[in-house]
Structure 1
Amino acid sequence: MGKYDKIFQSDDVSQEELSPEEAVAAIAVVTTAADVTLENVDIEMLVDILWGFEVFEQYDDNALSEIISKLISIAETDGLGALFNAASEFLTDELVLDGFAAGVSVLVSEDDIDIPKAKMPLLKQLQSVLEVEDEEANEVIEEVLTAFEEVEEDILGDETTDFAEDLYSSPEGNFTVSIPVTPDAGGKIQTAEGMVSFSDDYGTLLRIDYYLIPPSQRAEIDDSVREQYFESVLLDKYIPQAIVANLSSASVEYTGFLPNEMQGAYFALVNMPGGCTISKQENNGHPQRLDAFRGIIAFQQHDFIYIVTSQRCFFSGETLDSIDTEAETMKANILAFIDTMEFSNI
């Protein structure tokens, strides 16, 4: 019996129906979880990978997160074999190669942009059960690796320019900020529409989300409602969609209004078990993400809402302070970062 026969040769079934697109995503989930527990499946990583597929071009991050969460829930209830059988049942002929490409993509080692030798038996069995010919499989693998290399080159190109300038300027021209990470520490700058994040190999994470306030709402945000408005922005929208949707065990531990900051801002501290952006190596060889706190401050400058996030990872043997102390420390760190931002009234 092969190592992965319990998945790919399983008789388990699920009553859940999948769309063809969900079937593609299911193969990515199954391939990811074949050698790790479902709890260790990185939803954000899967979202980033699947977002690059043409079949998912109409889906935003939240929609993809919901799909992946649904698929993980099926696997938890019915088993990985049942999820794979559902994927096979609902995967259309036109999307078989997309499904195989999704499986290939989650196995790529980003360190050297290649498929690790230890993963080749899994990849070969996936190819076999999807009935992908060797020539087609090799073409798909080459296309996936080329796509990863192009993304890596784009990121490195962006980082070289940004680090050289020491300042990041938003594409909309509404703010600039001092870059808080360095290449020597593995600093990375990632951008998307309405977002920039700075991270490094030591657990630094500073992220800025921003969006233009609709004209119809601008008059509503006066001093009398500012606390309630930003509380709702964080607790009802941002944290559920950007954090809890990707890490269901995350919980809000502390909140508070900051009346003397930015004409009134709102702070929240979120506990994220296994939510740090860096990992430690377990005895079984699998990486395990560290626990972390995320501090978040929402505020308004001119016609934009800003949500600024910082991270504190907890390393082995490290003792947590009280929640109040952790919150105050995180709050101070975020405000110090915000002090490096320059805002424009565009």
Structure 2
Amino acid sequence: MSNVAASLRPGDLDLYRPEALHDPYPLYAELRGRGPALHEPERDIWLVPGYAEAAAVLRNHREFVSGDGATYESALGRAERYPLIETDPPEHTRIRRAVQPPFARAEIEQLRPGIESAATAIVEQALALGEVDAVPSLAQPMPDRAMALLTGLVPPSCAKLVDWSDAVVRAQEPAADPLHTELLLEALTWLGQDGIPGLPAHCLGRLIMESGGTTGGLAADGPERLMTLASIWLAGVDSTGALLGNAIDALIEQPEQWELLRARPDLVPNAVEELLRFEAPFRVFYRRTRAEAEIGGVTIPAGATVCAVLGSTGRDPRQFPDPDRLDVTRENARTHLALGTSIHLCLGAPLARMEATSMLTELTRRVARFERTGDPVRSPSGTMRKFDALPVRLVGA
């Protein structure tokens, strides 16, 4: 095995530079061209930008562990962890099995009438306004309503839930602000004091908190049940909201793809996969090594922080020919890694797909085209690729 990576100047590979956050794809292409794994010396992290190598890291939970942290900041020494992403087998297996059944296809399918009704109401309201910011008007309301249907939790407002969900990932980033931690604590406090006591009689929230999940496997003592519910609830908001905002922007930039979807709404489910590939909501996911490991012939030392660059994997031409072109008919779009893979595949993936498919289908029925009415504003988040503002005019069909 070789432990020699390409020689780079300090800072050249920094994913968190403002210009790289705004438009990361030139940097991603450079990274892929430099090797399967590269050491970024300024932050002391190992970057894995290629599809095959990142997939191998995410599937090898024995050598690349999640229990020491799945974000930029290590979980070691942190008071609370997110049980679904920051654990390894057998602990992870126990926790996942306790909450997996409600996410089975048949169970999620029962939510479809509510999801489709929400999509209709959201689009109708936006069309009535005509000119909207697509982020709070279209992208964010759907996951808010979907999480209420799934968990039974009804937050004080959609805007507050969005702030809480944003804080979950921002609190573990290099540029974390104390406000992010304050918001996260506020979310957990509300959950314990108001959210859980207000749950309806039969819902996922009560199943987790009162029964320890379907199998009863979640520990009754300590914060495991609370943090598991919080993980499902908050993680499903930011990611799906990012997907929907990114989708609208991409379809504005490539209107021929929107015309194709309007003519062939049967393509919408595949379009969702292609949009996830094209603009992965999660830019990165982290793993740690406890012993020396190998990635594509590059030796990774013990105690290393390894970053699977999900945003880059979707643009890898070895997996996706002509990757910088949005193609809603792409045959292998679903092979993307945007929702993870293996034992840490996103638990809520079936619901996220249903939300996005329902929203895009309703939009194809009702919206002839989107027109920009101002400059879009990207979020400064180093974890999520999303918009803070996306001003548009909806031209009715």
Normalised to the residue count of structure 1, the TM-score between the two structures is 0.28
- Select the structure with the greater relative contact order (CA < 8 A; seq sep ≥ 6): 2
Larger radius of gyration: 1
Normalised to the residue count of structure 2, the TM-score between the two structures is 0.25
